[in-house]
DNA sequence: CGCGAAATTGACTATATTCAAAGCTAGTGG
DNA sequence: CCACTAGCTTTGAATATAGTCAATTTCGCG
């Protein structure tokens, strides 16, 4: 975006650990609360991990041993009913934080929806950092409040919207997080679906057949286009918002 | 519960502000993070407010001016769709915290489900306290994490459970929060419904007729008893858990 | 007792699910 | 390069679950 190579934060930039330089969490995630020196310390206890699409990062009721920031990709948070019914309770993208601090057990499975890169740090390290750095805890509280808001917004979708509205809401959510302007028509938004139909169904509280039917309907209405089952173009965002029932 | 009058916290108890003495928030809410002296200061800027059943405490998209702890009663958090469809996204009981720190606008309406008493404090006071007292912020983070967990648990109910399971889950939630052992049969749990059928429907993502039918069914199955439309007795909690689809 | 609000019950309908079959798509090996 | 396969997706027909509309009953309260 800038024509010069001048760094944006001239004072700090040189001291930023190499691994953190390109990491979104440093600018927008919880690490933004850390000073260069703290970040340097922190970076000695973190490690990068690549996770392929479909792999589970942590299981429901596993013991909590680690936390992580998402560096790239998307993860899905799922909850299970005892008879196997499943609900995806959240999608998270870079540079969001994964993990539930201060609890012994997690009640959620975290699975890589796309190929994912995460920056992992041990439970004790994070908890120390939280104790020593009120700013850090503050940043985490802010992120948690956003997640709470997202969860409650999605509850309206789950409880009160029709299948058509749910699918439209889902596509808008993705356009918002990972959509890019289409090269040929910049008012269109393009993205790759990070979830297959069955997962979309688990996110929307529908069956995969219903999701498929509604996608087809939206396509025939001209609101969207889908190629190769997962390349989506949103032609008319306002129209899709109207279809989604708003919020 | 205790036969002697000896206070539980001998050192502090004498210094606790009178209004805080019987308040659940002091023991279990965010105020538990405050020392006696801090509590004394804090209590000078708080005020008690009684709100009758049905009254709205703050409207969706109102500006945030206050926060509060619930001293007694239950409040419902609701979200609206533009065409009027409504979803209750949370029920809160004493001594929980109400309000969304650090944001200019709230995206939720807060309404008294029963007659409610709250302890109100100005936005700036709370935010100062949070800055000065990391423990206080920590306690708020913990409560927020619990609310996030509750919200996600409820998402499973909304997205994946049948009407019957939803109603059973709702009754179990209430038994858990406000249920008391029945005088005649202590294995039974009794409580008053804080919501009318239309509200229960908005909480469960159903219509009021469906809620009514499922209540009748549960009554005929012998799992519960309802008198005067709002006095509920749960006869067999395990049975109700089985019906609820577990979690 | 009588009124208004809320809850129940009934009959019918709509929406999404279920079960089943056929069509794509991407990847593999001949 | 094409055929073959495995996994997903789409489509169709029949069904079930919850929603809608309407009538009746119960409850709370003056």
Consecutive H or E run containing B42: helix B36-43
B215 touches strand D (CB under 7 A): no
Does the pLDDT value for residue A2 go beyond 90? no
pLDDT number for residue B45:
92
Q: Residue length, chain B?
A: 247
Q: Report the alpha-carbon distance of residue B43 to residue B121 in Å, rounded.
A: 9
Give the whole-angstrom CA distance, residue B15 versus residue B123: 25
Identify the residue among A60, A130, A152, A163 best suited for mutation to test binding to B, counting B beta carbons within 10 A and taking the highest.
Answer: A152
Question: Are the beta carbons of B51 and B68 closer than 8 angstroms?
Answer: no
CA distance B221 to A81: 23
pLDDT-wise least confident of A6-15, A107-116, B88-97: A6-15
Q: Check residue B100 and give its pLDDT.
A: 84
Cβ count within 10 A of residue B188 = 19
pLDDT at A214 over 90: yes
Phi, psi of B70 (to 5 degrees): -80, 125
Q: How close, in Å, is residue B138 to chain A by CA atoms?
A: 7
At which residue do the structure tokens 């502000």 appear? B17
Q: Which residues of B touch A247 (CB under 8 A)?
A: 79, 81-82
CB-based contact A87:B159 (threshold 8 Å)? yes
Residue–nucleotide distance: B69 CA to D26 C1' (Å): 37
Picking from A82, A83, A141, the nearest residue to B141 by CB comes out as: A141
- pLDDT tens-digit series, residues B212-231: 999 999 999 999 999 999 99
Q: Which residue has the higher pLDDT, A12 or A29?
A: A29
pLDDT given for residue B101 in this prediction: 82
Chain segment A91-148, per-residue pLDDT in tens: 999 999 998 888 766 689 999 999 999 999 888 888 888 888 899 999 999 999 999 9
- Taking contacts as CB-CB distances below 8 angstroms, the residues of chain A near B79 are 152-153, 155-156, 247
**B141 interfacial to chain A (CB closer than 8 Å):** yes
Please give the DSSP secondary-structure letter assigned to residue B63.
B
Any A CB within 8 A of B122 CB: no
Is the pLDDT at B11 greater than 90, yes or no? no
Q: How far is CA B204 from CA A53, A210, B91, in A?
A: 34, 21, 12
What residues are paired with A97 via a beta bridge? A69
SS (H, E, C) A15-41: HCCHHHHCCHHHHCCHHHHCCHHHHHH
The mean pLDDT value for B45-72 works out to 83
**CB under 8 A, 24+ apart: contacts of B49-52:** B49/B117, B49/B118, B49/B119, B49/B120, B50/B115, B50/B116, B50/B117, B51/B112, B51/B115, B51/B116, B51/B117, B51/B118, B52/B112, B52/B115
Buried b (16+ CB within 10 A) or exposed e, A88-127: bbbbbbbbbbbbbbeeeebebbbbbbbebbbbbbebebbe
The predicted-structure confidence for A49-82, as pLDDT tens digits, reads as follows 999 998 888 755 566 678 899 999 999 999 999 9
**Interval A183-192 mean pLDDT:** 94
Contacts of B173 (CB under 8 A, 6+ apart): B91
Give the single-character DSSP code of A188.
S
Task: Give the number of other CB atoms < 10 A from CB of residue A169.
Answer: 24
Global pTM reads 0.92
> B120: which strand partners?
B47, B68
Extract the tokens encoding B194: 């804080």
Asked if A30 contacts A140 with a C-beta cutoff of 8 angstroms, the reply is yes
Query: How many angstroms separate the CA atoms of B27 and A86, rounded?
Result: 37
Confidence band, pLDDT 50/70/90 cuts, at residue B246: confident
Cβ atoms of residues A53 and A75 within 8 Å: no
| A212 CB and strand D closer than 7 A | yes
For the CA atoms of chain B, what is the radius of gyration? Answer: 20
Contacts of A82 in chain B (CB under 8 A): 245-247
Average pLDDT value for residue range B3-12: 48
Fill in the DSSP letter of residue B228: T
Query: Which residues are CB-contacts of A209 (< 8 A; sequence separation ≥ 6)?
Result: none
The pLDDT value given to residue B234 = 97
What is d(CA B77, CA A159) in angstroms, rounded to the nearest whole number?
14
Which residues of chain B neighbour A79 with C-beta distances below 8 Å? 152-153, 155-156, 247
Higher pLDDT, B247 or B199: B199
pLDDT-derived band at B10, boundaries 50, 70, 90: very low
C-beta atoms of A138 and B137 within 8 A: yes
The mean pLDDT value for A163-172 works out to 98
How far is A168 from A242, CA to CA, in rounded Å? 9
In strand D, the nucleotides that come within 7 Å of a protein beta carbon are 8-13, 17-22, 27-28
Any strand D atom closer than 7 Å to A207 CB: no
Taking an 8 Å cut-off on Cβ atoms, the answer to whether B85 and A144 are in contact is: no
Q: What phi and psi, each to the nearest 5 degrees, are found at residue A110?
A: -115, 120
pLDDT at B88 over 80: yes
CA distance A61 to B172: 22
The DSSP code sequence of A190-243 is EEE-SS-HHHHHHHHTS-HHHHHHHHHHHHHTTSEEEETTTEEEES-HHHHHHH
Beta bridge partners of B232: B191, B226
Across A187-210, average pLDDT: 97
B23 or A209: which carries more pLDDT confidence?
A209
Beta bridge partners of B68: B98, B120
């Amino acid at each position: 975006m800038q024509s010069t190579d001048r760094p944006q934060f001239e004072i700090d930039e040189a001291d930023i650990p190499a691994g953190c330089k390109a990491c979104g969490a440093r600018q927008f995630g919880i690490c933004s609360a850390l000073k260069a020196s703290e970040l340097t310390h922190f970076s000695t206890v973190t490690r990068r991990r690549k996770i392929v699409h479909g792999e589970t990062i942590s299981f429901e009721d596993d013991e909590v041993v680690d936390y992580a920031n998402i560096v790239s990709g998307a993860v899905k948070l799922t909850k299970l009913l005892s008879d196997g019914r499943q609900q995806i309770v959240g999608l998270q993208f870079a540079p969001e934080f994964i993990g539930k601090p201060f609890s012994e057990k997690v009640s959620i499975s975290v699975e890589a929806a796309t190929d994912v890169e995460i920056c992992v740090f041990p439970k004790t390290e994070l908890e120390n950092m939280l104790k020593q750095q009120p700013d850090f805890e503050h940043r985490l509280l802010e992120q948690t409040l956003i997640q709470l808001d997202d969860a409650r917004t999605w509850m309206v979708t789950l409880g009160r919207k029709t299948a058509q509205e749910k699918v439209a809401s889902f596509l808008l959510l993705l356009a918002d997080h990972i959509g890019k302007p289409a090269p040929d028509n910049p008012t269109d938004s393009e993205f790759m679906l990070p979830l297959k139909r069955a997962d979309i169904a688990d996110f929307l509280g529908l069956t995969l057949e219903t999701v498929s039917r509604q996608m087809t309907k939206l396509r025939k209405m001209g609101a969207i286009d889908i190629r190769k089952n997962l390349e989506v173009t949103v032609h008319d965002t306002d129209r899709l918002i109207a279809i989604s029932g708003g919020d």
